Structure 1
Protein backbone atom coordinates (compact mmCIF):
# COMPACT_ATOMS: atom_id res chain seq x y z
CA UNK A 1 0.00 0.00 0.00
CA UNK A 2 3.03 2.28 0.13
CA UNK A 3 2.57 3.27 -3.51
CA UNK A 4 -1.09 4.26 -3.52
CA UNK A 5 -1.61 7.87 -4.48
CA UNK A 6 -3.58 8.46 -1.27
CA UNK A 7 -1.45 6.28 1.02
CA UNK A 8 -0.45 7.83 4.36
CA UNK A 9 2.92 6.09 3.98
CA UNK A 10 3.55 8.02 0.75
CA UNK A 11 5.04 11.06 2.47
CA UNK A 12 7.37 8.96 4.58
CA UNK A 13 8.58 6.97 1.56
CA UNK A 14 8.71 9.60 -1.18
CA UNK A 15 12.10 8.54 -2.51
CA UNK A 16 11.07 4.90 -2.73
CA UNK A 17 7.77 5.93 -4.29
CA UNK A 18 9.54 8.02 -6.95
CA UNK A 19 11.87 5.12 -7.76
CA UNK A 20 8.97 2.68 -8.08
CA UNK A 21 6.97 5.05 -10.26
CA UNK A 22 10.01 5.72 -12.45
CA UNK A 23 10.52 1.98 -12.88
CA UNK A 24 6.86 1.47 -13.87
CA UNK A 25 7.04 4.36 -16.35
CA UNK A 26 10.19 2.89 -17.89
CA UNK A 27 8.79 -0.62 -18.29
CA UNK A 28 5.53 0.69 -19.76
CA UNK A 29 7.51 2.69 -22.32
CA UNK A 30 9.19 -0.47 -23.63
CA UNK A 31 7.78 -2.36 -26.60
CA UNK A 32 6.82 -5.41 -24.58
CA UNK A 33 3.68 -7.05 -23.26
CA UNK A 34 2.64 -4.56 -20.61
CA UNK A 35 -0.01 -6.70 -18.93
CA UNK A 36 1.92 -7.36 -15.71
CA UNK A 37 2.90 -3.73 -15.20
CA UNK A 38 -0.68 -2.60 -15.83
CA UNK A 39 -1.72 -5.12 -13.20
CA UNK A 40 0.70 -3.47 -10.76
CA UNK A 41 -0.63 0.04 -11.43
CA UNK A 42 -4.18 -1.24 -10.95
CA UNK A 43 -3.29 -3.08 -7.76
CA UNK A 44 -1.54 -0.03 -6.31
CA UNK A 45 -4.13 2.42 -7.66
CA UNK A 46 -1.64 4.58 -9.55
CA UNK A 47 -4.26 6.38 -11.59
CA UNK A 48 -2.06 8.85 -13.49
CA UNK A 49 0.32 6.21 -14.84
CA UNK A 50 -2.55 3.82 -15.58
CA UNK A 51 -4.43 6.40 -17.63
CA UNK A 52 -1.43 7.90 -19.40
CA UNK A 53 -0.25 4.57 -20.73
CA UNK A 54 -3.65 2.97 -21.25
CA UNK A 55 -4.78 5.90 -23.38
CA UNK A 56 -1.67 5.47 -25.50
CA UNK A 57 -1.75 1.66 -25.74
CA UNK A 58 -5.51 1.18 -26.36
CA UNK A 59 -5.31 1.84 -30.11
CA UNK A 60 -2.46 -0.64 -30.61
CA UNK A 61 -4.34 -3.79 -31.58
CA UNK A 62 -1.03 -5.63 -31.99
CA UNK A 63 -0.94 -5.82 -28.19
CA UNK A 64 -1.98 -9.13 -26.66
CA UNK A 65 -5.59 -9.59 -25.63
CA UNK A 66 -4.34 -9.82 -22.03
CA UNK A 67 -2.66 -6.44 -22.24
CA UNK A 68 -5.68 -4.84 -23.89
CA UNK A 69 -7.90 -6.41 -21.24
CA UNK A 70 -5.86 -4.62 -18.56
CA UNK A 71 -5.96 -1.39 -20.61
CA UNK A 72 -9.75 -1.65 -20.78
CA UNK A 73 -9.83 -2.20 -17.02
CA UNK A 74 -7.65 0.87 -16.37
CA UNK A 75 -9.86 3.04 -18.60
CA UNK A 76 -13.04 1.73 -17.01
CA UNK A 77 -11.79 2.11 -13.48
CA UNK A 78 -9.93 5.41 -13.67
CA UNK A 79 -11.20 6.98 -16.89
CA UNK A 80 -13.92 9.44 -17.76
CA UNK A 81 -16.26 10.17 -20.64
CA UNK A 82 -13.32 11.12 -22.87
CA UNK A 83 -12.36 7.43 -22.82
CA UNK A 84 -15.71 6.25 -24.19
CA UNK A 85 -14.62 6.43 -27.87
CA UNK A 86 -11.44 4.49 -27.04
CA UNK A 87 -13.48 1.66 -25.52
CA UNK A 88 -16.07 1.78 -28.30
CA UNK A 89 -13.27 1.14 -30.79
CA UNK A 90 -12.79 -2.29 -29.19
CA UNK A 91 -16.43 -3.40 -29.49
CA UNK A 92 -15.57 -5.47 -32.57
CA UNK A 93 -12.53 -7.26 -31.09
CA UNK A 94 -13.54 -10.90 -30.65
CA UNK A 95 -10.31 -12.16 -29.10
CA UNK A 96 -10.92 -14.37 -26.08
CA UNK A 97 -9.63 -12.96 -22.80
CA UNK A 98 -11.07 -15.57 -20.42
CA UNK A 99 -12.95 -18.84 -20.52
CA UNK A 100 -14.27 -20.89 -17.63
CA UNK A 101 -16.77 -23.55 -16.78
CA UNK A 102 -19.46 -23.32 -14.17
CA UNK A 103 -19.33 -27.12 -13.99
CA UNK A 104 -22.04 -29.76 -13.89
CA UNK A 105 -22.48 -29.90 -17.66
CA UNK A 106 -23.10 -26.17 -18.04
CA UNK A 107 -21.78 -24.44 -21.16
CA UNK A 108 -18.33 -22.88 -21.21
CA UNK A 109 -18.39 -19.14 -20.47
CA UNK A 110 -16.20 -17.17 -22.86
CA UNK A 111 -15.23 -13.55 -22.40
CA UNK A 112 -14.13 -11.65 -25.47
CA UNK A 113 -12.25 -8.37 -25.38
CA UNK A 114 -15.34 -6.63 -26.77
CA UNK A 115 -17.36 -7.94 -23.80
CA UNK A 116 -14.90 -6.43 -21.32
CA UNK A 117 -14.90 -3.15 -23.24
CA UNK A 118 -18.70 -3.13 -23.18
CA UNK A 119 -18.86 -3.82 -19.44
CA UNK A 120 -16.48 -0.91 -18.81
CA UNK A 121 -18.46 1.38 -21.12
CA UNK A 122 -21.60 0.53 -19.18
CA UNK A 123 -19.75 1.30 -15.94
CA UNK A 124 -18.45 4.64 -17.28
CA UNK A 125 -21.98 5.79 -18.14
CA UNK A 126 -23.21 4.85 -14.67
CA UNK A 127 -25.31 1.83 -15.60
CA UNK A 128 -25.21 -1.83 -14.55
CA UNK A 129 -24.16 -4.64 -16.92
CA UNK A 130 -27.17 -6.72 -15.88
CA UNK A 131 -29.43 -4.07 -17.44
CA UNK A 132 -27.89 -4.89 -20.82
CA UNK A 133 -27.91 -8.68 -20.57
CA UNK A 134 -24.77 -9.57 -18.64
CA UNK A 135 -25.90 -12.31 -16.26
CA UNK A 136 -22.63 -13.32 -14.62
CA UNK A 137 -20.77 -10.12 -13.71
CA UNK A 138 -19.11 -10.08 -10.32
CA UNK A 139 -18.13 -6.69 -8.88
CA UNK A 140 -14.51 -6.33 -7.78
CA UNK A 141 -12.87 -3.35 -6.11
CA UNK A 142 -9.59 -3.27 -8.04
CA UNK A 143 -10.90 -4.18 -11.50
CA UNK A 144 -14.56 -3.00 -11.37
CA UNK A 145 -15.80 -6.44 -12.51
CA UNK A 146 -13.96 -9.75 -12.33
CA UNK A 147 -12.61 -10.15 -15.88
CA UNK A 148 -13.87 -13.71 -16.26
CA UNK A 149 -17.39 -12.69 -15.24
CA UNK A 150 -18.00 -10.40 -18.21
CA UNK A 151 -18.54 -13.29 -20.60
CA UNK A 152 -21.43 -15.25 -22.01
CA UNK A 153 -22.41 -18.88 -22.40
CA UNK A 154 -23.80 -18.34 -25.90
CA UNK A 155 -23.11 -16.06 -28.83
CA UNK A 156 -26.82 -15.17 -28.83
CA UNK A 157 -26.56 -13.79 -25.28
CA UNK A 158 -23.46 -11.82 -26.28
CA UNK A 159 -25.04 -10.37 -29.41
CA UNK A 160 -28.15 -9.38 -27.46
CA UNK A 161 -26.10 -7.52 -24.83
CA UNK A 162 -24.20 -5.65 -27.55
CA UNK A 163 -27.46 -4.90 -29.36
CA UNK A 164 -28.96 -3.58 -26.10
CA UNK A 165 -25.95 -1.30 -25.70
CA UNK A 166 -26.18 0.03 -29.26
CA UNK A 167 -29.87 0.82 -28.76
CA UNK A 168 -29.21 2.54 -25.43
CA UNK A 169 -26.25 4.46 -26.87
CA UNK A 170 -28.27 5.63 -29.89
CA UNK A 171 -30.88 7.02 -27.49
CA UNK A 172 -28.52 8.42 -24.82
CA UNK A 173 -25.02 8.78 -26.24
CA UNK A 174 -25.29 12.48 -26.99
CA UNK A 175 -25.29 13.15 -23.23
CA UNK A 176 -21.72 11.84 -23.09
CA UNK A 177 -20.31 13.62 -26.14
CA UNK A 178 -17.32 15.87 -25.55
CA UNK A 179 -18.35 19.52 -25.67
Structure 2
Protein backbone atom coordinates (compact mmCIF):
# COMPACT_ATOMS: atom_id res chain seq x y z
CA UNK A 1 0.00 0.00 0.00
CA UNK A 2 2.75 2.42 0.91
CA UNK A 3 4.54 1.73 -2.39
CA UNK A 4 1.33 2.08 -4.40
CA UNK A 5 0.52 5.39 -2.70
CA UNK A 6 3.99 6.76 -3.30
CA UNK A 7 3.86 5.70 -6.95
CA UNK A 8 0.50 7.43 -7.33
CA UNK A 9 2.10 10.63 -6.03
CA UNK A 10 4.48 10.59 -9.02
CA UNK A 11 1.58 12.11 -10.92
CA UNK A 12 0.79 14.80 -8.33
CA UNK A 13 0.29 18.39 -9.42
CA UNK A 14 2.97 19.74 -7.08
CA UNK A 15 6.59 19.21 -8.09
CA UNK A 16 7.68 18.91 -4.45
CA UNK A 17 5.20 16.07 -3.91
CA UNK A 18 6.47 14.23 -6.98
CA UNK A 19 10.09 14.77 -5.93
CA UNK A 20 9.47 13.62 -2.34
CA UNK A 21 7.69 10.51 -3.59
CA UNK A 22 10.55 9.61 -5.95
CA UNK A 23 13.12 10.01 -3.15
CA UNK A 24 11.08 7.74 -0.85
CA UNK A 25 10.67 5.09 -3.55
CA UNK A 26 14.41 5.09 -4.30
CA UNK A 27 15.10 4.70 -0.57
CA UNK A 28 12.76 1.69 -0.37
CA UNK A 29 14.23 0.12 -3.51
CA UNK A 30 17.78 0.30 -2.13
CA UNK A 31 16.97 -1.59 1.09
CA UNK A 32 17.11 -5.09 -0.36
CA UNK A 33 16.39 -7.00 -3.56
CA UNK A 34 12.86 -7.90 -2.47
CA UNK A 35 11.91 -4.28 -1.88
CA UNK A 36 13.52 -3.26 -5.17
CA UNK A 37 11.47 -5.82 -7.10
CA UNK A 38 8.30 -4.73 -5.31
CA UNK A 39 8.83 -1.10 -6.34
CA UNK A 40 9.72 -2.02 -9.92
CA UNK A 41 6.69 -4.30 -10.21
CA UNK A 42 4.36 -1.38 -9.45
CA UNK A 43 6.27 0.91 -11.79
CA UNK A 44 6.04 -1.63 -14.64
CA UNK A 45 2.26 -1.55 -14.39
CA UNK A 46 2.16 1.41 -16.73
CA UNK A 47 -0.34 0.89 -19.57
CA UNK A 48 -0.20 2.83 -22.80
CA UNK A 49 -1.90 5.05 -23.85
CA UNK A 50 -1.86 6.63 -20.39
CA UNK A 51 -4.82 8.17 -18.63
CA UNK A 52 -2.46 10.44 -16.69
CA UNK A 53 0.55 11.54 -18.77
CA UNK A 54 2.48 12.96 -15.79
CA UNK A 55 2.09 9.70 -13.87
CA UNK A 56 3.03 7.64 -16.94
CA UNK A 57 6.23 9.62 -17.51
CA UNK A 58 7.11 9.65 -13.81
CA UNK A 59 6.81 5.87 -13.53
CA UNK A 60 8.78 5.38 -16.74
CA UNK A 61 11.63 7.67 -15.65
CA UNK A 62 11.93 6.14 -12.19
CA UNK A 63 11.86 2.58 -13.52
CA UNK A 64 14.65 3.42 -15.98
CA UNK A 65 16.64 5.04 -13.16
CA UNK A 66 16.29 2.01 -10.88
CA UNK A 67 17.09 -0.47 -13.64
CA UNK A 68 20.13 1.56 -14.68
CA UNK A 69 21.38 1.69 -11.09
CA UNK A 70 20.79 -2.04 -10.64
CA UNK A 71 22.59 -2.74 -13.91
CA UNK A 72 25.62 -0.68 -12.85
CA UNK A 73 25.86 -2.58 -9.56
CA UNK A 74 25.62 -5.95 -11.30
CA UNK A 75 28.17 -4.92 -13.94
CA UNK A 76 30.60 -3.75 -11.26
CA UNK A 77 30.29 -7.08 -9.42
CA UNK A 78 30.48 -8.96 -12.72
CA UNK A 79 33.81 -7.30 -13.47
CA UNK A 80 35.38 -7.33 -10.01
CA UNK A 81 33.68 -9.87 -7.71
CA UNK A 82 34.79 -13.50 -8.28
CA UNK A 83 31.87 -14.77 -6.16
CA UNK A 84 29.25 -13.05 -8.32
CA UNK A 85 26.84 -15.42 -10.05
CA UNK A 86 27.47 -14.69 -13.73
CA UNK A 87 24.09 -16.15 -14.67
CA UNK A 88 22.52 -12.96 -13.31
CA UNK A 89 23.88 -11.16 -16.38
CA UNK A 90 21.56 -12.22 -19.23
CA UNK A 91 23.39 -13.27 -22.36
CA UNK A 92 26.88 -13.62 -20.89
CA UNK A 93 26.90 -17.43 -21.01
CA UNK A 94 26.11 -17.31 -24.74
CA UNK A 95 28.43 -14.40 -25.52
CA UNK A 96 31.46 -16.01 -23.87
CA UNK A 97 31.20 -19.01 -26.23
CA UNK A 98 32.11 -16.74 -29.14
CA UNK A 99 34.24 -14.01 -27.52
CA UNK A 100 36.06 -15.79 -24.70
CA UNK A 101 35.60 -15.26 -20.97
CA UNK A 102 38.69 -13.26 -20.02
CA UNK A 103 38.69 -9.73 -18.67
CA UNK A 104 38.86 -8.27 -22.18
CA UNK A 105 35.62 -10.04 -23.16
CA UNK A 106 33.99 -8.99 -19.88
CA UNK A 107 34.87 -5.33 -20.46
CA UNK A 108 33.44 -5.42 -23.98
CA UNK A 109 30.29 -7.22 -22.80
CA UNK A 110 29.82 -4.71 -19.97
CA UNK A 111 30.05 -1.81 -22.44
CA UNK A 112 27.64 -3.63 -24.73
CA UNK A 113 24.85 -4.02 -22.17
CA UNK A 114 25.36 -0.47 -20.94
CA UNK A 115 24.79 0.87 -24.46
CA UNK A 116 22.16 -1.73 -25.46
CA UNK A 117 20.53 -2.87 -22.17
CA UNK A 118 18.09 -5.37 -23.72
CA UNK A 119 20.52 -7.13 -26.04
CA UNK A 120 21.58 -9.70 -23.45
CA UNK A 121 18.03 -10.93 -22.98
CA UNK A 122 17.24 -10.83 -26.69
CA UNK A 123 20.31 -12.74 -27.85
CA UNK A 124 20.78 -14.85 -24.75
CA UNK A 125 17.35 -16.43 -24.99
CA UNK A 126 16.08 -18.76 -27.75
CA UNK A 127 12.77 -16.92 -27.53
CA UNK A 128 14.34 -13.47 -27.86
CA UNK A 129 13.33 -11.22 -30.73
CA UNK A 130 15.93 -11.16 -33.54
CA UNK A 131 18.08 -8.07 -34.02
CA UNK A 132 17.16 -6.05 -37.08
CA UNK A 133 20.29 -5.49 -39.11
CA UNK A 134 20.89 -1.86 -40.16
CA UNK A 135 22.91 -0.48 -43.05
CA UNK A 136 26.38 -1.53 -41.91
CA UNK A 137 28.01 1.42 -43.64
CA UNK A 138 26.00 3.80 -41.43
CA UNK A 139 27.68 2.57 -38.22
CA UNK A 140 30.76 4.36 -36.93
CA UNK A 141 33.78 2.09 -37.23
CA UNK A 142 34.84 2.78 -33.63
CA UNK A 143 31.35 2.06 -32.22
CA UNK A 144 32.54 -1.22 -30.75
CA UNK A 145 29.40 -1.78 -28.67
CA UNK A 146 27.11 -1.70 -31.71
CA UNK A 147 29.46 -3.77 -33.87
CA UNK A 148 29.75 -6.31 -31.04
CA UNK A 149 25.97 -6.58 -30.89
CA UNK A 150 25.65 -7.02 -34.66
CA UNK A 151 28.45 -9.58 -34.89
CA UNK A 152 26.97 -11.55 -32.00
CA UNK A 153 23.54 -11.41 -33.61
CA UNK A 154 24.99 -12.51 -36.95
CA UNK A 155 26.63 -15.51 -35.30
CA UNK A 156 23.41 -16.45 -33.50
CA UNK A 157 21.27 -15.97 -36.59
CA UNK A 158 23.70 -17.42 -39.14
CA UNK A 159 22.17 -19.83 -41.62
CA UNK A 160 23.49 -22.64 -43.75
CA UNK A 161 22.66 -20.75 -46.94
CA UNK A 162 23.81 -17.25 -47.76
CA UNK A 163 21.29 -14.45 -47.31
CA UNK A 164 21.17 -10.69 -47.78
CA UNK A 165 22.51 -9.98 -44.29
CA UNK A 166 25.51 -12.26 -44.79
CA UNK A 167 26.26 -10.65 -48.15
CA UNK A 168 26.10 -7.11 -46.73
CA UNK A 169 28.13 -7.91 -43.62
CA UNK A 170 30.77 -9.79 -45.60
CA UNK A 171 31.12 -6.88 -48.03
CA UNK A 172 31.57 -4.48 -45.12
CA UNK A 173 34.17 -6.64 -43.34
CA UNK A 174 36.18 -7.19 -46.54
CA UNK A 175 36.59 -3.50 -47.25
CA UNK A 176 39.03 -1.19 -45.50
CA UNK A 177 36.82 1.71 -44.48
CA UNK A 178 33.96 -0.62 -43.60
CA UNK A 179 33.41 -2.91 -40.64
CA UNK A 180 34.59 -2.30 -37.07
CA UNK A 181 37.87 -0.55 -36.26
CA UNK A 182 38.17 -0.70 -32.44
CA UNK A 183 40.39 1.89 -30.80
CA UNK A 184 41.50 -0.16 -27.78
CA UNK A 185 43.63 -3.29 -27.72
CA UNK A 186 41.20 -5.35 -25.63
CA UNK A 187 38.35 -4.41 -27.98
CA UNK A 188 40.41 -5.48 -31.00
CA UNK A 189 41.07 -8.88 -29.42
CA UNK A 190 37.41 -9.50 -28.69
CA UNK A 191 36.24 -8.31 -32.11
CA UNK A 192 38.81 -10.62 -33.69
CA UNK A 193 37.37 -13.60 -31.77
CA UNK A 194 33.81 -12.68 -32.68
CA UNK A 195 34.73 -12.38 -36.35
CA UNK A 196 36.55 -15.72 -36.19
CA UNK A 197 33.38 -17.29 -34.76
CA UNK A 198 31.35 -15.69 -37.54
CA UNK A 199 33.75 -16.88 -40.25
CA UNK A 200 33.52 -20.49 -39.07
CA UNK A 201 29.71 -20.47 -39.03
CA UNK A 202 28.46 -18.23 -41.82
CA UNK A 203 28.23 -19.43 -45.46
CA UNK A 204 31.05 -17.22 -46.78
CA UNK A 205 33.14 -17.78 -49.89
CA UNK A 206 36.60 -18.91 -48.84
CA UNK A 207 38.24 -16.00 -50.70
CA UNK A 208 36.26 -13.50 -48.63
CA UNK A 209 36.97 -15.50 -45.49
CA UNK A 210 40.72 -15.26 -46.09
CA UNK A 211 40.56 -11.51 -46.73
CA UNK A 212 38.44 -10.87 -43.62
CA UNK A 213 40.61 -13.18 -41.54
CA UNK A 214 43.73 -11.30 -42.62
CA UNK A 215 42.20 -7.96 -41.81
CA UNK A 216 41.08 -8.94 -38.31
CA UNK A 217 43.94 -11.16 -37.23
CA UNK A 218 42.17 -14.53 -37.54
CA UNK A 219 45.49 -16.08 -38.52
CA UNK A 220 44.65 -19.69 -37.73
CA UNK A 221 41.57 -19.67 -39.96
CA UNK A 222 43.51 -18.04 -42.81
CA UNK A 223 46.38 -20.51 -42.53
CA UNK A 224 44.01 -23.49 -42.57
CA UNK A 225 42.27 -22.18 -45.67
CA UNK A 226 45.59 -21.46 -47.41
CA UNK A 227 46.91 -24.93 -46.66
CA UNK A 228 43.73 -26.63 -47.86
CA UNK A 229 43.67 -24.67 -51.14
CA UNK A 230 47.38 -24.59 -51.96
CA UNK A 231 47.81 -28.32 -51.44
CA UNK A 232 44.95 -29.07 -53.83
CA UNK A 233 45.92 -28.22 -57.44
CA UNK A 234 42.33 -28.87 -58.56
CA UNK A 235 41.14 -25.76 -56.71
CA UNK A 236 39.96 -22.85 -58.83
CA UNK A 237 42.65 -20.44 -60.10
CA UNK A 238 40.95 -17.52 -58.35
CA UNK A 239 41.07 -19.26 -54.98
CA UNK A 240 44.68 -20.32 -55.49
CA UNK A 241 45.74 -16.77 -56.33
CA UNK A 242 44.00 -15.34 -53.24
CA UNK A 243 45.46 -18.09 -51.05
CA UNK A 244 49.00 -17.42 -52.31
CA UNK A 245 48.68 -13.74 -51.52
CA UNK A 246 47.18 -14.46 -48.09
CA UNK A 247 49.83 -17.06 -47.25
CA UNK A 248 52.56 -14.57 -48.16
CA UNK A 249 51.03 -12.00 -45.79
CA UNK A 250 50.75 -14.24 -42.71
CA UNK A 251 53.95 -16.15 -43.61
CA UNK A 252 53.75 -18.49 -40.60
CA UNK A 253 56.30 -20.80 -42.23
CA UNK A 254 58.37 -18.89 -44.83
CA UNK A 255 59.88 -22.04 -46.34
CA UNK A 256 56.46 -23.65 -46.71
CA UNK A 257 55.05 -20.46 -48.23
CA UNK A 258 57.93 -20.33 -50.73
CA UNK A 259 57.30 -23.95 -51.68
CA UNK A 260 53.62 -23.23 -52.29
CA UNK A 261 54.44 -20.22 -54.47
CA UNK A 262 57.11 -22.08 -56.44
CA UNK A 263 54.72 -24.97 -57.09
CA UNK A 264 52.46 -22.66 -59.12
CA UNK A 265 55.17 -21.04 -61.27
CA UNK A 266 54.15 -23.27 -64.20
CA UNK A 267 50.37 -22.97 -63.78
CA UNK A 268 49.04 -21.33 -66.95
CA UNK A 269 45.41 -21.19 -65.86
CA UNK A 270 43.70 -17.78 -65.97
CA UNK A 271 42.41 -16.46 -62.65
CA UNK A 272 41.21 -12.98 -63.67
CA UNK A 273 40.27 -11.11 -66.83
CA UNK A 274 39.59 -7.37 -66.84
CA UNK A 275 39.35 -4.56 -69.36
CA UNK A 276 40.65 -1.05 -68.76
CA UNK A 277 38.11 1.74 -69.08
CA UNK A 278 40.59 4.37 -70.23
CA UNK A 279 41.97 4.42 -73.79
CA UNK A 280 43.51 2.30 -75.06
CA UNK A 281 40.89 -0.12 -73.75
CA UNK A 282 43.08 -3.19 -73.41
CA UNK A 283 42.15 -6.55 -71.94
CA UNK A 284 44.39 -7.90 -69.19
CA UNK A 285 44.59 -11.55 -68.22
CA UNK A 286 46.12 -12.83 -65.01
CA UNK A 287 47.48 -16.36 -64.91
CA UNK A 288 48.24 -18.21 -61.69
CA UNK A 289 51.94 -18.25 -62.60
CA UNK A 290 51.91 -14.45 -62.96
CA UNK A 291 50.91 -14.06 -59.33
CA UNK A 292 53.46 -16.67 -58.25
CA UNK A 293 56.23 -14.77 -60.04
CA UNK A 294 55.14 -11.40 -58.64
CA UNK A 295 55.14 -12.84 -55.11
CA UNK A 296 58.51 -14.48 -55.65
CA UNK A 297 59.95 -11.12 -56.68
CA UNK A 298 58.23 -9.27 -53.84
CA UNK A 299 59.43 -11.74 -51.20
CA UNK A 300 62.98 -11.28 -52.52
CA UNK A 301 62.77 -7.52 -52.09
CA UNK A 302 62.21 -6.73 -55.77
CA UNK A 303 59.37 -4.46 -56.86
CA UNK A 304 57.39 -6.48 -59.45
CA UNK A 305 56.75 -3.27 -61.41
CA UNK A 306 60.44 -3.18 -62.30
CA UNK A 307 60.06 -6.61 -63.94
CA UNK A 308 57.11 -5.86 -66.20
CA UNK A 309 54.08 -5.85 -63.89
CA UNK A 310 53.03 -2.41 -65.08
CA UNK A 311 49.34 -2.75 -64.12
CA UNK A 312 50.13 -3.63 -60.50
CA UNK A 313 47.79 -2.10 -57.92
CA UNK A 314 48.56 -2.16 -54.20
CA UNK A 315 46.05 -3.65 -51.77
CA UNK A 316 45.91 -2.76 -48.05
CA UNK A 317 45.10 -6.35 -47.05
CA UNK A 318 46.59 -8.69 -49.67
CA UNK A 319 49.50 -6.34 -50.58
CA UNK A 320 48.55 -6.63 -54.30
CA UNK A 321 45.17 -6.70 -55.98
CA UNK A 322 44.97 -10.19 -57.51
CA UNK A 323 43.58 -9.03 -60.86
CA UNK A 324 46.35 -6.44 -61.32
CA UNK A 325 49.17 -8.98 -61.54
CA UNK A 326 48.47 -9.85 -65.16
CA UNK A 327 49.37 -8.66 -68.65
CA UNK A 328 47.66 -7.24 -71.71
CA UNK A 329 49.56 -9.50 -74.14
CA UNK A 330 51.49 -12.74 -74.27
CA UNK A 331 54.57 -10.80 -75.35
CA UNK A 332 54.43 -8.63 -72.23
CA UNK A 333 54.00 -11.75 -70.12
CA UNK A 334 56.92 -13.51 -71.81
CA UNK A 335 59.20 -10.53 -71.21
CA UNK A 336 58.34 -10.61 -67.52
CA UNK A 337 58.77 -14.36 -67.17
CA UNK A 338 61.77 -15.01 -69.41
CA UNK A 339 64.98 -14.71 -67.47
CA UNK A 340 63.31 -13.38 -64.30
CA UNK A 341 63.33 -16.58 -62.29
CA UNK A 342 64.89 -16.39 -58.86
CA UNK A 343 65.37 -20.15 -58.86
CA UNK A 344 67.75 -22.32 -60.84
CA UNK A 345 65.09 -23.82 -63.10
CA UNK A 346 62.99 -22.24 -65.82
CA UNK A 347 59.66 -20.96 -64.57
CA UNK A 348 57.93 -20.97 -67.90
CA UNK A 349 57.14 -24.65 -68.25
CA UNK A 350 55.69 -26.13 -71.43
CA UNK A 351 53.20 -24.07 -73.36
CA UNK A 352 49.64 -25.40 -73.26
CA UNK A 353 48.41 -27.15 -76.41
CA UNK A 354 46.90 -24.88 -79.05
CA UNK A 355 43.99 -25.41 -81.36
Give the alignment's TM-score, normalised by structure 1.
0.74
Instruction: Give the Cα–Cα distance (whole angstroms) in 1 for the partners of residues 283 and 210 of structure 2.
Output: 27
Aligned partner of 2:316 in structure 1 is: 141
| Compared CA separation, residues 35 and 170, structure 1 to 2 (3 A) | same
Q: Of 216, 221, 224, which aligns to 1:44?
A: 216
Deviations 1:55-107 (A, max 9, x none): 23202122222221210110222223431111111112222222222242443
Aligned-residue offset at 1:139: 1.9
2 CA distance for matches of 1:26 and 1:89?
A: 31
Q: Are 1:53 and 2:225 an aligned pair?
A: yes
Show structure 2 runs of 5+ residues with no match: 1-140, 145-172, 174-181, 346-355
Unpaired runs of at least 5, structure 1: 172-179
Pairing of 1:22-37 with structure 2 (within 5 A): 22-25=197-200, 34-37=206-209
RMSD of the TM alignment (CA)? 3.0
Alpha-carbon spacing, 1:169–1:13, altered in 2? closer, same or farther (3 Å): closer
Q: Is the 8 A contact 1:99 1:148 kept in 2?
A: yes
Instruction: Report how far residue 42 of structure 1 moved.
Output: 2.8
Aligned to 2:343: 169
Aligned to 1:176: none
The equivalent of 1:127 in structure 2 is 302
On the 8 A contact 2:206/2:225 being kept in 1, the answer is no
Of residues 183, 186, 200, the one that matches 1:11 is 186
CA–CA separation in structure 2 for the residues paired with 1:107 and 1:12: 46
Q: After alignment, is 71-80 or 45-54 more displaced?
A: 45-54
Secondary structure class of the residue paired with 2:296: helix
Offset, 1:26: 5.7
Deviates more, 1:45-54 or 1:140-149: 45-54
Partner of 1:112: 287
| TM-score, normalised relative to structure 2 | 0.41
Give 1 or 2 for the bigger CA radius of gyration: 2
Contact 2:192 2:216 in 1 (8 A): no
CA contact (8 A) 2:270 2:287 kept: yes
Aligned twin of 1:85: 259
Alpha-carbon deviation of 1:159?
Answer: 2.1
More strand by share: 1
- Which has the higher relative contact order, 1 or 2, with Cα contacts under 8 A spaced 6 or more apart? 1
SS across alignment from 1:152: coil
Residue 17 to residue 10, structure 1, CA distance change in 2 (3 Å): farther
Q: Does 1:96 align with 2:293?
A: no
